[in-house]
A and B are shown apart, each in its own frame.
Chain A
Amino acid sequence: MNRYILRRIVQSIPVFFAITLLSYTLILAAPGDPITFLMINPNMSPEIAESMRREMGLTDPPLVQYLYWLVGNDWTRIDRDGDGVDDAYGTRRGILRGDFGESLQNREPVFDLIMSRIPATLTLTIPALILGYGLGITLGLLAAVNRKGWFDQFVRFISTIGNAIPSFWFGLLLIIIFSVQLELLPMSGMRDITKRNTFDLWDRVSHMIMPVLVLSLGTIASISRFIRAEVLEVQEQDFIRTAHAKGLNNNAIWWRHTIRNALIPVATFLGPALSGLLGGAVIIESVFSWPGMGRLVVNAAVQRDYPLVMGAVVMGAVLYIIGLIISDVLYAWFDPRIRFD
C-alpha cells in the first residue's frame, strides 16, 4: 500500500503544477490588476501607478511573475526603480520554499491570512459534511427500506428540491423565516458580538444552524439519492438472494450484506469533499456574513490580489490531491475486489 500511495503522490506533482500554472494564467488574464481601480483617483498619475506596479512585481512578464511566485526572487537582482538597471536582490522565497508571499491589498502574509480564516470555515464545513453524510445516508437507507412508500416519495422529493434550490436563495429564505419572522435564530455572523469576550456554546451553535443546514442540503440530496439507488441495486444481487435462500434473518442480511456493500462507493465522494471543506462555502459565507476562507478568496479575486488568490489555490489543490489519494486508498481498502497494485 505504501508504494501505491507513493506512486499516487508522485503522479500528483505534475497535476499540482498544472493547476497552479493554469490558475496563475487565468488570474493574470482577468481584466485589470490591483492598481486599476486606484486609477479612478485623479491624484493617481500614471507614473505613481507604474511605480506601484513595479513595487508589486506586476511589470514583469507573466511567466517571470509565475516563476518568482514559485521559486522566489531572492536569488536574482531586480530593478526596483524602473531605470532599467537591476539594483537589489528580491525578498521573496517562493511557494516551493514555503513563502506564500504577501497580500497586495493589506500587506499581510498570505499564509497567516489563510490560516486565520480556516478555523471559521471548518466550523461550518465539517458539521455540514457530517450532517450531509449522516442525514443523507440515513434518509437514503430509510427510503430504500420503504421503497415506493410515502417516505420514499418524500426523500426523493427532498433530494430533487435539494439539488434544484440555489443555496443563496435557500439561505435568504431561512433568514426571513427563522430570523425575521419567527425571531428564533440570529441571521448573520458567527457569534453575538455583545458576547464576543466569552465563549457561549449555544450562541455559537445558534449561529451555525442555518448556514450548516444550507451547506449540507446539496450533500443530503445527493447522498440520499445515491444510497437509495445503491441499496436497491445491492438488494437485487445474487449474494443477497443466496443469503435469503440460506435462511439468514433479515436483520443480518440488511446490516451485514446490504448496507456494507451499498456504502462502499460513498468512499469515492470523501476525496473531493475534503477540498470542498475549504472552498465549498463561498456563497454561504457571503449570505450569512461568515468570516471564512470563501469570502477572503472572493474579495481577493475581485481586488486582483494575486498572491492571496494563488495561496488559496495552492491550499485547495493540495487538499484535492490528498482527497483523491485518500479516496482511492479507501476504495481499495473497503472493496476486496480492488488491489493496490
Chain B
Amino acid sequence: MKRFLVPYIMVVLFLPLLLMSTAAQDDSTLVGAFASDVQTFNSLLWGDSTSATVAGYLWPQLFQKDPITGATLPALASWEISEDGLTYTFTLQEGVMWSDGAPLTANDVKFTMEALKSENVQSSQAGQVAAVESITVVDDTTLEVTLTAIDCTFLDGFTLGILPAHRFAEDYSDFMDNELNRNPDISGGPWILTERAADEFLVFEANPNYWRGQPQIQNLILRIIPEATVRQQALLTGEIDWVSIASDEAAEYAGEGFNIVVLQIQRLAVLAMNIADPSNPQNAYDAEGNPIDQGHHPIFGDVRVRQAVAMGYDKDAIVASGPEGTARIVGPVAPVVTWAYNDEVTPFAYDPDAANAMLEEAGWVDADGDGVRECQGCLYAEEGAPLSFTLFQTPTGGALADTSALVIQDQLRALGMEVNLETKEFGAVFQDDILAQTFDAFITPLGWGNSDPHTLTNVMLNSSIDAVGAPLNFVSYSNPEVDALIEQARTVPGCGIEERGDIYKEIQRIAYEDVAFDWVWTEIAGSYVAFNPRIQNVNPYDQPVWALAPINEWTLSN
C-alpha cells in the first residue's frame, strides 16, 4: 500500500493542474473590474458607487463639470437663463437617439425630472428638483424649466442621468420595479448592456447611437472581483485591463510595463467640534420655523475654547508631512475655486501661549496641577468639570488624517486638554454619534467634490438645515448673518460669479472667526491607476463626473 501512496496523492492534487491553462484575452474587448455588483441601473435610484458609475455608461447627463473647478459646462444640452433668473431654457443637441432608435427628446428630460416629484418614486436625489416649479416642453429639443425662486446652484446640482420616458409608465407606477432597473436593454450613453450575471460580470457593447460618437472599442466587460489583491493580480495576468493601486506600488507596476495614470482627488479635513448640548440634541428650528434652544456644549459651546483648539496644535507641521499640494484652508471653499476662495483671511498660527491665555480667560484652569484643566468660571460646564472630551476618528480616513488626530491629541494635552482619541468604524460613528449629534469632536476627511461653493458651504454652515438625524451642519453652528449670506449667494440676480464670490469670501471670514469648524488642511491626493499598455488615449481629466467615465474614448492598440 505504501508504494502507491505518493503517486496517489500527486494524482489527486495535481493532475487537473497539468491539464489547464488560462484563457488569453480578447483583443477587441476591454475588461475592467469592480469590487461589487450593480444594485440598480436606474439613475434616480442608485445609492452605491458601482451603480452610479454604470448609470453614467447608460444614461446621458445634460451637463458636465470642469474636473478641477467644478464649473458646470454644456454637454448634451446648453442653456440660457431669463433676465429674472427664474426660467432656464435648455437646448438639447439635435438628432440624439436612444440605442433602440427612438429619439432622445426634451420629453425624456421632463419625464426624468418629474419622476423625482412623483409619489410613486422614492429617491435620495429628490433634492435636485426641489426648486423647480414647472417644466414645459417647447419642442423636441427645447425645454423650459421655471424655478420657484432664483437658485444659482440649480445647474450645479442637476446631475441626473436622463431616462427613456417611452420605457416607463407615464404615471411612474412601474418606476421602482421596471425591468430597466435590473436588465436595461436600452442606452443613451456610450455602452449598451447585453448580458449580466449577478455578482459575476456585466457585458456591454458599443452604442452606435451615442451622441458623442460610438466608442472606439467594441466590447466592454466589467467583472466583479471583491478582493483588491485579486484585482491587482488579475491585471498582472492580463485578465483585466486596469486597476487602482496604492501610490507606493506605482513604481513596481511601471517597472512591469504598465502605464500609470494619477487621478487627482481633492480632499479637506475638518476638526468638527459640537457646539450644541450633546446630552439633549435638538433641531435648530421647529416645524413652523421657530428657533429651538439647542443648549451649549460644555466645552466647545464657548468660541474661545474653539479658538484655543484651533491655535493649539501645529497645522503647518501636519501640512508639511502631507503630500505635495497639501495646504491650509480657511473655510468650505476649495482654493482652486479662485473666484470664491478668500485668500485674505490669515489662518490661525500655532500659538500655544495665546491658546493657554484664551483657555484661562474662558475659565478653564488647572487648579490641582494634574495636567488637565478644570472649569472655574467657564461658561457652560459645571464647576470643577475637567476639560476632557472624546475625539472620534475613522480607520479609513487615510494617513494624513491619522497623523492629524495624533498631533491634535498630543499638542492639546500639553495645553491641559484631555483628548480621548477613539477610532470607530465610519458607519457606526456616523449613525450613533454624528447623525445623533451626541459627539464631542470628530476629525474627518471630506471630498471637495467638484461642485459649486454653495454645496459644502450650505451643508456645513447653514443652521436652517441643522436637524438631528441629518448629516448637515452637524456641529449645530448657528449664525443668522451667515445663514442670510448663504441664501444671498444662492439667489444673486444673474448669478454673476464676482458678486457671488464676494459673498462666499465674507462667509469664510465670519465662519473662520467663529471657528464653526476647525479647518485643518486640504490636499490634492493622487488616486493611482495602472493600465495595461494596450489601452491608449486615456485622459482622466476630460470627463464629466466620474474619473474613468470617458472610456468610450479609449482605444486598444495592436
CA–CA, A58 to B446, complex, Å? 29
CA–CA, A45 to B127, complex, Å? 7
A51 in contact (CB, < 8 A): yes
A108 in contact (CB, < 8 A): yes
A333 in contact (CB, < 8 A): no
Which residue of chain B is the closest to A206 with respect to CB atoms? B20
Q: With A32-B428, A42-B127, A192-B23 given, is the CB distance from A180 to B233 under 8 Å? A: yes
A106 touches B230 (CB 8 A): no
Q: With A46-B470, A178-B17 given, is the CB distance from A295 to B197 under 8 Å? A: no
CA–CA, A190 to B428, complex, Å? 35
Q: With A55-B122, A185-B20 given, is the CB distance from A36 to B40 under 8 Å? A: no
A46 touches B467 (CB 8 A): yes
Which residue of chain A is the closest to B229 with respect to CB atoms? A172
A176 in contact (CB, < 8 A): yes
Q: 1/0 per residue A153-170: CB within 8 Å of B?
A: 000000000000000000
A105 in contact (CB, < 8 A): yes
Q: With A31-B427, A180-B236, A193-B221 given, is the CB distance from A39 to B470 under 8 Å? A: yes
A286 touches B195 (CB 8 A): no
Which stretch of B176-184, B185-193, B318-326, B338-346 is in the interface? Answer: B176-184
Q: How far is the CB of A290 from chain B (nearest CB, A)?
A: 8
Residues of chain A contacted by B125 (CB below 8 angstroms)? 41, 43-44
B127 touches A190 (CB 8 A): no
CA–CA, A145 to B4, complex, Å? 14
A176 touches B428 (CB 8 A): no
Which stretch of A13-21, A71-79, A194-202, A315-323 is in the interface? Answer: A194-202
A52 touches B177 (CB 8 A): no
B234 in contact (CB, < 8 A): yes
What DSSP secondary structure best describes chain A's contact surface? Answer: helix
Q: How far is the CB of A103 from chain B (nearest CB, A)?
A: 9
Residues of chain A contacted by B432 (CB below 8 angstroms)? 31
Q: With A44-B124, A46-B470, A106-B39 given, is the CB distance from A190 to B431 under 8 Å? A: no
A151 in contact (CB, < 8 A): yes
A26 in contact (CB, < 8 A): no
A184 touches B20 (CB 8 A): yes
CA–CA, A147 to B469, complex, Å? 66
Which residue of chain A is the closest to B23 with respect to CB atoms? A192
B201 in contact (CB, < 8 A): yes
CA–CA, A33 to B22, complex, Å? 42
CA–CA, A156 to B1, complex, Å? 19
A11 in contact (CB, < 8 A): no
Which residue of chain B is the closest to A46 with respect to CB atoms? B470
B157 in contact (CB, < 8 A): yes
Q: With A36-B431, A184-B21, A188-B225 given, is the CB distance from A46 to B469 under 8 Å? A: yes
Which residue of chain A is the closest to B31 with respect to CB atoms? A193
Total residues of chain A contacting the partner, CB 8 A: 66
A186 in contact (CB, < 8 A): yes
B226 in contact (CB, < 8 A): yes
Residues of chain A contacted by B200 (CB below 8 angstroms)? 189-190, 289, 291
CA–CA, A299 to B195, complex, Å? 22
Which residue of chain A is the closest to B472 with respect to CB atoms? A42
Partner of B198, one of A116, A192, A286: A116
B interface bracket (residues with beta carbon within 8 Å of A): 35 or more
Partner of A107, one of B12, B181, B230: B181
CA–CA, A187 to B31, complex, Å? 15
Most buried by A among B22, B29, B195: B22
Q: How far is the CB of A280 from chain B (nearest CB, A)?
A: 17
A135 in contact (CB, < 8 A): yes
CA–CA, A142 to B229, complex, Å? 38
B122 touches A52 (CB 8 A): yes
Which residue of chain B is the closest to A209 with respect to CB atoms? B16
B239 touches A187 (CB 8 A): yes
CA–CA, A188 to B234, complex, Å? 8
Residues of chain B contacted by A46 (CB below 8 angstroms)? 467, 469-470
A183 touches B230 (CB 8 A): no
Residues of chain A contacted by B85 (CB below 8 angstroms)? none
Q: With A39-B471, A107-B176, A287-B230 given, is the CB distance from A196 to B195 under 8 Å? A: yes
B5 touches A142 (CB 8 A): yes
B230 touches A175 (CB 8 A): yes
Which residue of chain A is the closest to B45 with respect to CB atoms? A107
B224 in contact (CB, < 8 A): yes
A187 touches B427 (CB 8 A): no
CA–CA, A116 to B198, complex, Å? 9
B230 touches A289 (CB 8 A): yes
A206 touches B431 (CB 8 A): no
B327 in contact (CB, < 8 A): no
Residues of chain A contacted by B128 (CB below 8 angstroms)? 43
Most buried by B among A178, A184, A286: A184
Which residue of chain A is the closest to B424 with respect to CB atoms? A31
A32 touches B225 (CB 8 A): no
B252 in contact (CB, < 8 A): no
Which residue of chain A is the closest to B427 with respect to CB atoms? A32
Residues of chain B contacted by A203 (CB below 8 angstroms)? 23
Residues of chain B contacted by A255 (CB below 8 angstroms)? none
B22 touches A179 (CB 8 A): yes
Which residue of chain A is the closest to B446 with respect to CB atoms? A40
Partner of B237, one of A146, A187, A296: A187
B5 touches A151 (CB 8 A): yes
Q: How far is the CB of A227 from chain B (nearest CB, A)?
A: 16
Residues of chain B contacted by A51 (CB below 8 angstroms)? 122
A1 in contact (CB, < 8 A): no
Q: How far is the CB of A5 from chain B (nearest CB, A)?
A: 37
Q: 1/0 per residue B117-132: CB within 8 Å of A?
A: 0000011111110000
Residues of chain B contacted by A31 (CB below 8 angstroms)? 425, 427-428, 430-432
B470 touches A45 (CB 8 A): yes
Residues of chain B contacted by A116 (CB below 8 angstroms)? 198
A48 in contact (CB, < 8 A): yes
A205 in contact (CB, < 8 A): yes
| 9 closest A-B pairs by CB | A43-B127, A291-B199, A31-B428, A32-B431, A38-B124, A206-B20, A291-B200, A44-B124, A31-B431
Given A32-B428, A48-B127, A289-B226, 6 more A-B residue pairs with CB atoms under 8 Å apart are: A151-B2, A180-B236, A189-B223, A193-B223, A195-B23, A291-B200
Q: List 16 A-B contacts (CB under 8 A).
A: A31-B428, A32-B428, A39-B470, A45-B465, A46-B467, A48-B123, A106-B182, A117-B198, A146-B2, A151-B5, A184-B20, A185-B17, A193-B31, A288-B230, A289-B224, A291-B197
B residues engaging A (CB < 8 A)?
A: 1-2, 5, 12-13, 16-23, 26, 29, 31, 36-37, 39-40, 47-48, 122-128, 157, 176-177, 181-182, 195, 197-201, 203, 221, 223-227, 229-230, 233-234, 236-237, 239, 425, 427-428, 430-432, 435, 455, 458-459, 465, 467, 469-472
